[in-house]
């Protein structure tokens, strides 16, 4: 099995978030609960954990009794590794016959104690963040079909949620559409995709071309974005994904409560208009017709009464529909698609 093929996870799930202090670093767990809650039996947290996914707390043994079949590592820390202190819990789950599902940069097969436990019990070790072999270099060839890519002012600002919400609304409106997952959480939610940030740099644009191949002229691929062109650590993957996706439209994603790059001291976020301009300018390399279709904002850090004023001000500044896909819904951006992109 590769991440480019179907990822068959056995439900119900136990989502392990350990001792993380911020929901930003539990975004895998949060995403799975938000989009596949019916498959989640519980969460596994350590003392002092600062995040609650809103599902029952369970130990490994309680999960086994409850019929859990997969333990999903639900964190996304900087660097993509977990503390050594987690290994004992993963080994315990594997011994209990529970599959271990990992979307990090580590490989479960590199931990002998987990491998041995799984071999004894029959549990599967599933590494989601493994790209397929033989990815080509990007060609830049214009492909049939239409594409929209979510881009961001920073990491973890709602690119996945915005793409999923738009895809859902497009389906409801009768569009031909496919959600294209590019990160571990999106792959777990969709059941297929390609982990763009695990691809060797020279082949990122080629991987994006593989992910979104030729299609019907009226078909829309909704492509999950990664990183930000303004991020000092992750801009490279964002650029390769932008060039390979060849989007006809981009949706800029932003967190209204954030002014600095998270965890990158001294780096300010760009304005929305700066983000639009740079993504459109660089995207023209592979699609001369690229345009911005709207702005998707996480306003959860604002007071409810402040949200309408903030979104209205942003719409006036950009001349585009601006909405919160969770609190308000993505329909204003979909309506822009229906008027100007179809």
Q: Which two tokens stand for residue 280?
A: 């459109």
Helix (H), strand (E) at residue 116:
helix 112-121
pLDDT in the model for residue 1: 41
Contact 194, 211 (CB under 8 A): yes
Contact 264, 233 (CB under 8 A): yes
Across the beta sheet with 99-102, the strand order is 40-45, 13-18, 70-73, 99-102, 125-127
Phi-psi region of 128 (alpha: psi -120 to 50; beta: other; left: phi over 0): alpha
pLDDT in the model for residue 290: 98
Max intra-chain CA distance, the chain = 62
- Residue range(s) in the chain whose domain bears CATH number 3.40.50.720: 13-127
Q: Residue count of the chain, please give it.
A: 342
Collect contacts of 76-83 with beta carbons under 8 A, ≥24 apart: 76/25, 76/26, 76/27, 76/28, 76/103, 76/104, 76/184, 76/185, 77/20, 77/25, 77/104, 78/25, 78/263, 79/105, 80/104, 80/105, 80/106, 80/129, 81/105, 81/106, 82/18, 82/106, 83/18
Residues 325 and 111: their CA atoms lie apart, in Å, by 40
Question: What is the per-residue DSSP string for 266-329?
Answer: T-BPPPHHHHHHHHHHHHTTT-TT-EEEEEEEE-TTS-TTTHHHHHHHHHHHHSS-EE-TTTT-
pLDDT in the model for residue 190: 87
- Omega of the bond leading into 12 within 30 degrees of 0 (cis): yes
Phi-psi region of 300 (alpha: psi -120 to 50; beta: other; left: phi over 0): alpha
Buried b (16+ CB within 10 A) or exposed e, 139-171: eeeebebbbbbbbbbbbbbbbbbbbbbbbbbbe
pLDDT in the model for residue 104: 87
pLDDT in the model for residue 4: 44
Residues 287 and 123: their CA atoms lie apart, in Å, by 45
Residue-level pLDDT, tens digit, the chain, 342 residues: 444 444 578 899 999 999 888 888 898 999 999 998 999 999 999 999 999 999 999 999 999 999 999 999 999 877 677 788 889 999 999 999 999 999 888 899 999 999 999 999 999 999 998 898 889 999 999 999 999 999 999 998 999 999 999 999 999 999 999 999 999 889 888 878 899 999 999 999 999 999 999 999 999 999 999 999 999 999 999 999 999 999 999 999 999 999 999 889 899 999 999 999 999 999 999 999 999 999 999 999 999 999 999 999 999 999 999 999 999 999 999 999 999 988
Of the candidates 240, 124, 253, 230, which has an alpha carbon nearest to the alpha carbon of residue 182?
240
pLDDT in the model for residue 228: 97
pLDDT in the model for residue 7: 59
What is the CATH superfamily name and number for domain 146-340?
A: P-loop containing nucleotide triphosphate hydrolases (3.40.50.300)
Pick the CATH number of 13-127 from 3.40.50.1780, 3.40.50.720, 3.90.550.10, 3.30.70.580: 3.40.50.720
Residues 11 and 63: their CA atoms lie apart, in Å, by 12
**β pairing state of 291-298 and 249-255:** parallel
pLDDT in the model for residue 211: 95
Contact 303, 331 (CB under 8 A): no
- Residue range(s) in the chain whose domain bears CATH number 3.40.50.300: 146-340
Contact 260, 160 (CB under 8 A): no
pLDDT in the model for residue 82: 78
Contact 70, 99 (CB under 8 A): yes
What global pTM score does this model have? Answer: 0.86
Contact 329, 335 (CB under 8 A): no
């Amino acid at each position: 099995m590769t991440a480019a093929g179907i990822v068959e996870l056995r439900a119900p799930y136990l989502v392990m978030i350990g001792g993380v202090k911020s929901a930003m670093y539990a975004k895998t767990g949060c995403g799975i609960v938000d989009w596949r809650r019916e498959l989640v039996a519980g969460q596994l947290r350590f003392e002092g954990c600062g995040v609650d996914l809103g599902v029952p707390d369970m130990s490994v043994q309680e999960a086994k009794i409850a019929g859990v079949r997969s333990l999903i590592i639900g964190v996304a820390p900087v660097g993509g590794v977990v503390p050594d202190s987690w290994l004992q819990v993963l080994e315990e789950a594997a011994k209990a016959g529970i599959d271990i599902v990992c979307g990090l940069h580590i490989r479960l097969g590199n931990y002998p104690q987990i491998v041995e436990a799984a071999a004894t019990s029959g549990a599967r070790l599933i590494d989601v963040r493994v790209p397929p072999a033989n990815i080509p270099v990007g060609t830049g060839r214009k492909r049939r079909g239409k594409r929209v890519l979510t881009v961001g002012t920073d990491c973890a600002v709602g690119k996945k949620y915005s793409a999923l919400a738009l895809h859902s609304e497009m389906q409801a409106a009768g569009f031909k559409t496919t959600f294209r997952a590019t990160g571990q959480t999106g792959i777990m939610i969709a059941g297929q995709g390609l982990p763009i940030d695990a691809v060797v740099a020279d082949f990122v644009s080629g991987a994006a071309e593989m992910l979104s191949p030729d299609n019907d002229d009226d078909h829309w691929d909704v492509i999950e974005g990664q990183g930000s062109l303004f991020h000092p650590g992750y801009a490279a993957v964002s650029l390769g994904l932008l060039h390979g996706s060849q989007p006809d439209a981009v949706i800029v994603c932003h967190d209204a409560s954030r002014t600095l790059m998270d965890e990158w001291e001294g780096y300010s976020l760009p304005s929305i208009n700066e983000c639009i301009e740079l993504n459109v300018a660089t995207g023209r390399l592979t699609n001369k017709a690229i345009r911005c279709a709207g702005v998707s904002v996480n306003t959860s850090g604002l007071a409810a009464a402040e949200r309408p004023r903030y979104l209205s001000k942003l719409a006036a500044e950009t001349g585009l529909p601006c909405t919160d896909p969770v609190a308000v819904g993505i329909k204003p951006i979909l309506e822009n698609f229906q008027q100007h992109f179809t």
